[in-house]
Each structure stands twice: as C-alpha cells, then as structure tokens.
Chain A
C-alpha cells in the first residue's frame, strides 16, 4: 500500500512541524476560548436553554477555529516553495490530499477535545455522560469539514483575498454536514427521537464519503500548477 505510506510520511511531516512550533494548535485553542466568552456576552444563555443552544454554539466555535486552521494549511508549503518540491516527488497527489485532510482533522479534534469540557464548565452544562456520543458526532462532522475545507484551501491558494474567499465558498456547501452534526447533537441532548438521529448520522457519513472520494480524485487538478 504505497499511497498509505506516502500519506503517513506527509502527515508525519506536518505533525512534526506542529509539535515543534505549536502555532496552529495554540492559536486555535485561544480563539475557541475567546469565542465561548463572546457567546456568553452575546446571548446570556439562561440555564434551562443551555442544552438546546449548546450544539449550535459549539459548532460555530468549531467552524471558526477550523477556518483559521484551513487558511494556514498550505501556507508553509507555499512560502518556502516546498509545494513545488512536493509536486516534483514521484508520488500520488491523492496522498498529499489525504495527509492534509488527516492533519487538519487531527488538530481540529484536539481543539474540540478541549472545547467540549470547557463549554460544559463555563456554561454549567452537565454533558459528561454524553461526551462519548457527542464526540462521535463531532468526529463525523469535523471529517466532513476537513475533506471539503482542505480541497477549498488548495483551491484558493493562489487567489487574492483568499482568507475571505475560503469561508465564502466553503460555508454554503458545508450546510448538510453542519446541519446534520447540530441536529444529531441536539437529539443526543434530548430533543427528538433516535430514528431521526440515525437519519442525520447517515447524512454525515454520506457527505464524508462523497466528498472524500471526489476530493481524492479531483485534487490532482487543484494542486497542479
């Protein structure tokens, strides 16, 4: 499995860079925390409404912090001409795509791992028993965000005002995944039935599979100069 090995080494390169610098991860943590404070000041959520509003607020925080990571995703490669070197390597372009998706997924999940309990503490929401199932839904939703986000991050790489452009084209297309994740979490918090929960989870899986496949196949054109 050549492509898996290539993906692994490309992923390892990004992980190693992140371990040494901790730039993306730290800025995302702090940005997420600031967002939680802003939510408090904007909504002053009453205690009985917290569970109903939590999924939407959490996803807003995930999406915004995730977008922050996406705009930086190919920045290193671009600045130091590493991208040209990577493209010259005799390897599958799909491996580069998978590695970037996995890296983005990894750091987003790490951030979410902190944001979830932080939300519970700051808003006095008893989510500890629900945490595994919430995290499961977040896993599927975040993967959807990463598969499409990575593709669009590469797409806007050479555009003017790319930080503005990326959310503009990404967010409307993310609706099925985000809606699915928010609804599924709301059901886990007790609003709705389990049948509906599986309907939304199916939507999340279908979204992930379709766009992971399309992204993998189409990335060759996107990254080629």
Chain B
C-alpha cells in the first residue's frame, strides 16, 4: 500500500473515532439529558435525528452537484466517484429524514390515523428522494463506465438546478390548499428553539456531518479499490 493511502487510512480512523464520540454524546444528550417537550413529550426527541439528517442530505446533494460539474469540466474519475458516493449517502439520509418525519408527524401534526400528509416540505423531501434514486438507477443501468459517469454528471447538475424551482412550485401549490406547516418562516430557525434543545441539536448536527464525511471517505475508498481491481483485470499483475 502506498504511503499516502496509509496516511488517509489513519485520518479515516481518527474521523471514525470522532464520529463514535459525537454520536454517543448526541444520543445521550438528545435522549436523556435534553428536557422533555411539554406537549409532544418524548416523541419530540426524533427532532435530534430528523433535522441533522436532512441538513446533511442537502450537503450531500450539493457535493453531487460540485462533483458532477468538476467531472464534466476536467474529466477525472475521482470527481465522478465523489459525486456517486455522495448521492448514495444523500439518498440514505433523505430516507432517514422521511421515515423519522412520518413517525414524528404521525404522533403530532398529521390527522389522527394518517401516515402521510401533502405538506410542502414533506412532498419536496420525497421528491428529492425520487430524483436521486433515479440518479442511482441511471448509474446502475448504464454499463459503459465513462458514459455512466457523464450521464450521471448531467443528471446531477440538472437535478440540483431544478430543486429551487420544485421547492417554489410545491410551496405555491400547497399553500393554496392548507396553512404552512409548523415551522415559522418569519423567524430564523434557531429563534424558534429554546437553548436547552439547541445544544443537543447542534451536537447531533456535528455528529451527522462527521458521520457523513466518514461514510463518504469509506465509500471513496471502496471506489478506489474498485478502480484498482478493474485495472488489474485489464492489465494483469504488474
């Protein structure tokens, strides 16, 4: 193994340890230390998982966009692997967001017995999931590697550019039919949250960001190994 690979392996281990510490701390703070919500009771603790996961998913999709642009510009395999890896993790995080959101909403603001409501934010998140599942499908169904990378990059860019438009359209559409959801838009998000909750939320957010980069580095490593295997298969052992 080259020395640089050894070096990144070490960094990854340190990052993994940090993730472990922050996730444990976040879980402890969120589940045990933070005060119970006066109305929603313990179910509100889902927030500590729900909000960090969607914010991190946005970061992931932004990285898909950046990786895609870089790939089309410079044509380096590395950027394509970055975009593809970030998309996979983004899909995972969006799915976590939707599942936690449904569990949380079912106990609090959905109509009794409902499993779904066509709230703008919820609809948008579900569409985001569909777009990037489509991205992964496209990658899986194109056999030629270079071709798959180019097509993935194009879809990554278009998908990202389309998100603000979808956001606007869905928001306009939904607000005509029902009042906006629980989050108030006239205040900054942190002004709605008492400091007792903001601390565990921040810790969990840091934990998720670290977890994301840890998963990303692992996935990139897998991508590199795959590349190496392909080269070995093509040219045989050096």
**Interface residues, chain A, CB within 8 Å of chain B?**
148, 151-152, 155-156, 158-162, 165, 168-169, 172-173, 175-176, 179-180, 183, 192, 196, 199-200, 203, 206-207, 210-211, 214, 218, 221-222, 224-225
- Whole-angstrom distance between the alpha carbons of A179 and B138 in the complex? 25
Among the listed A156, A173, A183, which residue makes an inter-chain contact with B158, where contact means beta carbons less than 8 Å apart?
A: A173
Interface string of B130-153 (1 = CB under 8 A from A): 110011011001111001001101
Interface string of B216-233 (1 = CB under 8 A from A): 000000000000000000
Q: Given contacts A159-B138, A169-B138, is CB(A221)–CB(B72) below 8 Å? A: yes
Q: Does residue B169 face the partner (Cβ distance < 8 Å to A)? A: yes
Given contacts A173-B166, A210-B165, 13 further A-B contacts (CB under 8 A): A148-B158, A155-B151, A159-B142, A165-B134, A165-B141, A173-B159, A175-B127, A175-B166, A179-B173, A192-B176, A200-B172, A221-B154, A222-B151
- Whole-angstrom distance between the alpha carbons of A169 and B158 in the complex? 11
- Whole-angstrom distance between the alpha carbons of A195 and B183 in the complex? 27
Nearest opposing residue in chain B for A162, CB measure? B141
Establish whether residues B142 and A158, one from each chain, have CB atoms under 8 Å apart when the complex forms: yes
Establish whether residues A160 and B143, one from each chain, have CB atoms under 8 Å apart when the complex forms: yes
Residue tally, chain B, CB below 8 Å to A: 31
- Whole-angstrom distance between the alpha carbons of A159 and B153 in the complex? 15
Establish whether residues B173 and A221, one from each chain, have CB atoms under 8 Å apart when the complex forms: no
Establish whether residues A210 and B134, one from each chain, have CB atoms under 8 Å apart when the complex forms: no
- Whole-angstrom distance between the alpha carbons of A38 and B141 in the complex? 32
- Whole-angstrom distance between the alpha carbons of A2 and B84 in the complex? 38
Establish whether residues B169 and A175, one from each chain, have CB atoms under 8 Å apart when the complex forms: yes
- Whole-angstrom distance between the alpha carbons of A192 and B151 in the complex? 40
Establish whether residues B130 and A172, one from each chain, have CB atoms under 8 Å apart when the complex forms: yes
Candidate in A151, A172, A200 with the most chain B CB atoms within 10 angstroms: A172
**Interface residues, chain B, CB within 8 Å of chain A?**
72, 127, 130-131, 134-135, 137-138, 141-144, 147, 150-151, 153-155, 157-159, 161-162, 165-166, 168-170, 172-173, 176
- Whole-angstrom distance between the alpha carbons of A165 and B165 in the complex? 22
B-side binding surface: helix, strand, loop or mixed? Answer: helix
Establish whether residues B165 and A169, one from each chain, have CB atoms under 8 Å apart when the complex forms: no
Give the chain A neighbours of B165 by CB distance below 8 A. 176, 203, 206-207, 210
- Whole-angstrom distance between the alpha carbons of A139 and B147 in the complex? 33
Total A-B contacts with CB atoms under 8 angstroms apart: 91
Establish whether residues A160 and B141, one from each chain, have CB atoms under 8 Å apart when the complex forms: yes
- Whole-angstrom distance between the alpha carbons of A206 and B158 in the complex? 14
Instruction: List 3 tightest A-B contacts by C-beta distance, closest first.
Output: A169-B134, A176-B169, A176-B165
Q: Given contacts A159-B138, A221-B72, is CB(A199)–CB(B172) below 8 Å? A: yes
Nearest opposing residue in chain A for B126, CB measure? A172
Among the listed B137, B154, B168, B173, which residue makes an inter-chain contact with A222, where contact means beta carbons less than 8 Å apart?
A: B154
Candidate in A159, A160, A162, A199 with the most chain B CB atoms within 10 angstroms: A159
Establish whether residues B166 and A176, one from each chain, have CB atoms under 8 Å apart when the complex forms: yes
Give the chain B neighbours of A156 by CB distance below 8 A. 138, 141, 151
Nearest opposing residue in chain B for A161, CB measure? B141
Q: Given contacts A206-B165, A207-B165, is CB(A179)–CB(B151) below 8 Å? A: no
- Whole-angstrom distance between the alpha carbons of A180 and B170 in the complex? 10
Give the chain B neighbours of A169 by CB distance below 8 A. 131, 134-135, 137-138, 155
Give the chain A neighbours of B151 by CB distance below 8 A. 155-156, 159, 222
Among the listed A173, A180, A196, A203, which residue makes an inter-chain contact with B162, where contact means beta carbons less than 8 Å apart?
A: A173
Candidate in B130, B143, B157, B165 with the most chain A CB atoms within 10 angstroms: B165
Nearest opposing residue in chain B for A179, CB measure? B169
Give the chain B neighbours of A224 by CB distance below 8 A. 150
Q: Given contacts A155-B155, A159-B141, is CB(A168)–CB(B134) below 8 Å? A: yes
Establish whether residues A211 and B158, one from each chain, have CB atoms under 8 Å apart when the complex forms: yes
Q: In the assembled complex, how far is the CB of residue A186 from the closest CB belonging to chain B, in whole angstroms? A: 10
Give the chain A neighbours of B170 by CB distance below 8 A. 175, 179
